Structure 1
Amino acid sequence: MLRSIDRAQDSIQLESYIFADDIVGQEFCRALIERARSGIKVKVHIDAAGSLFWFSRKMQNHMRDNGVELRWFHRWSWRRPWRYNHRNHRKLLIVDNRIAYLGGFNIHKENSCKHYGEARWRDTHVSFDGSLVSVAAQLFDAFWHGKLRSQPLQKAEGSKLLHNQTLSCRHRLRCVYGEAFSKAKKYIYLTTPYFVPDNHTLRQLCKAAERGVDVRLLVPGKTDVRIARWAARHIYASLLESGVKIYEYLPRVLHAKTVVTDDHWSMVGTSNLDYRSLFTNYELNLATIDQQLARKLKQQFIEDLSLSECISLNDWKKRDGVTRWQGRVAMILKRWL
């Protein structure tokens, strides 16, 4: 991403849920300012809630004073307080309308091997070019101008950028997940850092396993949001009883959001499989029938399983009372996680 920014000749559009004033954020800040000073149009859109305790006024002023156009998404307003809860959870970079980057990576040191070492978050990001880049640019511009349900036309080339809360469908990603799970014939390999799905999505996963599909769910053993993990664990039993295999990733925080089915369909992006991503936040995913990407995501998934603990139904039924109580409390708050 930094190399692409350094090589930019015309424009840079960056959208991030978290933009931290840390060693990685400062590196991006310097790169963006250098390009802005050279006459390139640089736009940065940051979520007000996501970056509340990460971004600094000093960095904001430094960017703006040096030619970077910076906007906050849904800053707090006493007139419209409910709007603050609807977050822009997208992480998107577009350079020169030529190449785009999308996935789980925020702009902070936790994603950096160089600065965070072996404890860095396990995450997944993709880059792409071609006609989809212009679609990504249209989606960025729409959000920049406050048109949150814009839906650009996309050619049917086997790959699409999907966002939720469009004019035609308010719960688009939920529908896509459900359709993919219901159509799967061989396997579903799902990675998500926060697993708190609605009942419909949960039933689709269970039904897939019950009809013989190899359904495997990879979730974090370590997490940055403990209560979300409590909620996920509360629904393990129903999944395990249906034949879903559940794995907890052990080495570090898992933040990747991917799904692969039957060797030919995959999706990667910013949405978690939880209420907030499916119904409240603004998200952006790449869904594709590109077999090369599906193969790479499947390979990564299998590699991650080798570093994970498989949860058995018998062991899970023996969990202590504190764990059960934590799950019940978390499920009460599931729509806000």
Structure 2
Amino acid sequence: MSMEWRDGNRITLLENGENFFPALFKRITQATTEVLLETFILFEDKVGIALQQHLIAAARRGVRVEMLVDGYGSAELSTDFIRALANAGVRFRYYDPRPAFMGMRTNLFRRLHRKIVVVDGRIAFIGGINFSAEQLSDYGPEAKQDYAVELEGPVVADIHRFTLQALNQQDLHRSWWRKRYRLLAQNKQSGDAQALFVFRDNNEHRTDIEQLYIDMLRSAKREVIIANAYFFPGYRLLKEMRRAARRGVRVVLVVQGEPDMAIVKVGVRMLYNYLVPAGVQIYEYLRRPLHGKVAVKDEYWATIGSSNLDPLSLALNLEANVVIHDRTFTGQLRDNLLGLIANDSQLIDQSRVPKRTYWHLAKSVVVFHFLRHFPAWIGWLPAHTPRLSLVMSPSQPELETQDRVKTEKREAKP
């Protein structure tokens, strides 16, 4: 089986935690056979505790519940929080956990950054929303602006199989997912209710999501809107944005104006002198931190997922997006983004572009090339196979033995 465009899906846009969490918790409450979950961040706050309670309730009524959380993004969970899940029968795994060294976490790179939930093999959620109270508007000025989708239909089978294999640490690139994204994405006639699942790994699918954006820009005819929280892509993607704008496509980029990390603003502003003179319209979203990773093209094309357009997401982290051909969904997402632009964003016109001083030029060159080559330099470091660590309860001795045997077999391979 290879990844393919799937027709006949039901696709629902979910904006922020106010829409995402109730929809997800409702599906978990209705689950009868299985809940699979992957996330980068799970915090032990009101959102994390609500998720914990829904998963425990599902496991106690006989639903198979498996979850995988990143060992860096979710490192602060308490033993009691995790033990409650394990004791209820939830198979709780950490992705590549490592102890701190001199008070510092050492597992910064090659993170599990995906956000995927699959319920009963029938409903899937995918997007950029983590399990944190930061995703709710009542968190305050630092609440994040973000997006996810709920999917029902044939594409869910692809996401389900992918997630099952990831949870069991199988070699995705050597099994059923052999065809690359590009061979399929360029040959599909646009229609409605079509969806394609795309992922990035550190094996055979290193550039699939980046190529997704490049192909989209090359084929755009009228308009492209990209809203991305952490924007510092490679030269190829930047070049295609300029080319699209110069051939008459309205190219709009929405970035953080009130970022959750100061370096984000420094990095993206290095690119203003390159993009704005070519006709790319850049808006800084000012209401609160932008955390979304979405884009729309013309009347029918959209993507949403976990992948930022920065060195970490494009070259190191494990990411997942869904590409959508559907006029209703694309129109809804486009209207939402236009609302952000009209009501809460500032246009970066030529007067706001940093002046071209020698100091600015030198700083831009250094920062750009450092960030651009940063993933390759990290790649020179000794590589390892990230391990999954299963948290056990006294009622799971057989599962402990199975996971230990799997780990020993992997480590024994040359």
Aligned residue number for residue 148 of structure 2: 125
Picking from 226, 231, 239, the partner of 1:203 is 239
Aligned-pair identity in percent equals 28
RMSD: 2.7
* 1:174–1:201 Cα contact (<8 Å) kept: yes
Match for 1:59 among 65, 81, 88? 81
1:119-148 Cα deviation digits (max 9, x unpaired) = 521101110101111111111111112135
* Offset of residue 291 of structure 1: 1.2
Identify the residue that residue 270 of structure 1 maps to in structure 2.
306
Give the aligned partner of residue 258 of structure 2: 222
Q: Normalized against structure 2, the TM-score is what? A: 0.74
Give 1:116 shift: 1.8
CA displacement at 1:292 relative to structure 2: 1.3
The 1:279/1:179 distance shift into structure 2, 3 A limit, reads same
Distance verdict in 2 for CA 1:137–1:183, change over 3 Å: same
Aligned length: 333
Q: Separation in 1 of the partners of 2:202 and 2:212? A: 13
- Equivalent residue, structure 2, for 1:24: 47
Do residues 72 (structure 1) and 94 (structure 2) align? yes
User: Does residue 158 of the first structure (1) align with residue 194 of the second (2)?
Assistant: yes
Q: What is the aligned partner in structure 2 of residue 240 from structure 1?
A: 276
CA distance in 2, matches of 1:149, 1:77: 27
Is the counterpart of residue 142 in structure 1 residue 145 in structure 2? no
Task: Between 239-248 and 160-169, report the one with greater CA deviation.
Answer: 160-169
Return 5+ residue gaps in structure 2 as ranges: 1-23, 379-414
Secondary structure at the aligned position of 1:71 is classed as strand
Q: CA deviation at 1:153?
A: 8.0
Distance 2:257 2:357 in 1: 17
Q: Which has the higher contact order (CA 8 A, sep 6+)?
A: 2
Cα deviations across residues 154-193 of structure 1 (Å, max 9, x unaligned)?
9978310000137654211111111101111101100000
Matches within 5 A, 1:159-174: 159-165=195-201, 168-174=204-210
- Residue 25 to residue 304, structure 1, CA distance change in 2 (3 Å): same
Aligned residue in 2 for 1:116: 139
- Provide TM-score, normalisation by structure 1: 0.91
Q: Distance in 2 between matches of 1:192 and 1:319?
A: 25
Q: 1:284 to 1:121 in 2, by over 3 A?
A: same
- Would the alpha carbon gap of residues 227 and 218 (structure 1) be closer, same or farther in structure 2, given more than 3 Å must change? same
Alpha-carbon deviation of 1:75? 2.0
Instruction: Please say if residues 110 and 120 of structure 1, whose CA atoms lie closer than 8 Å, have aligned partners that are also in contact.
Output: yes
Mapped pair 1:41 → 2:64: yes
Aligned residue identity for 2:220: A
User: CA offsets, 1:28-75, max 9 Å, x none?
Assistant: 11111111111111111001111124x333211221122111011122
Letter in 1 for 2:233: P
Does 2:280 align with 1:258? no
Does residue 1:86 correspond to 2:122, yes or no?
Answer: no
CA distance in structure 1 between the partners assigned to 2:234 and 2:36 by the alignment: 33
Instruction: Select the structure of larger CA radius of gyration.
Output: 2
Q: Contact 2:142/2:260 (CA < 8 Å) preserved in 1?
A: no
Matched, 1:98 2:134: no
Aligned match of 1:301 in 337, 348, 360? Answer: 337
SS in 2 for 1:284: strand
Shift of 1:212: 1.0
Q: Is the deviation greater in 158-167 or in 42-51?
A: 158-167
Pick one of 209, 213, 217 that aligns with 1:177.
213
Read off the aligned partner of 2:226 and give its amino acid letter: L
CA distance in 1, matches of 2:301, 2:42: 31
Asked if the contact 1:161/1:286 (under 8 Å) is kept, the reply is yes
Task: Output the CA distance in 2 between the equivalents of 1:173 and 1:291.
Answer: 22
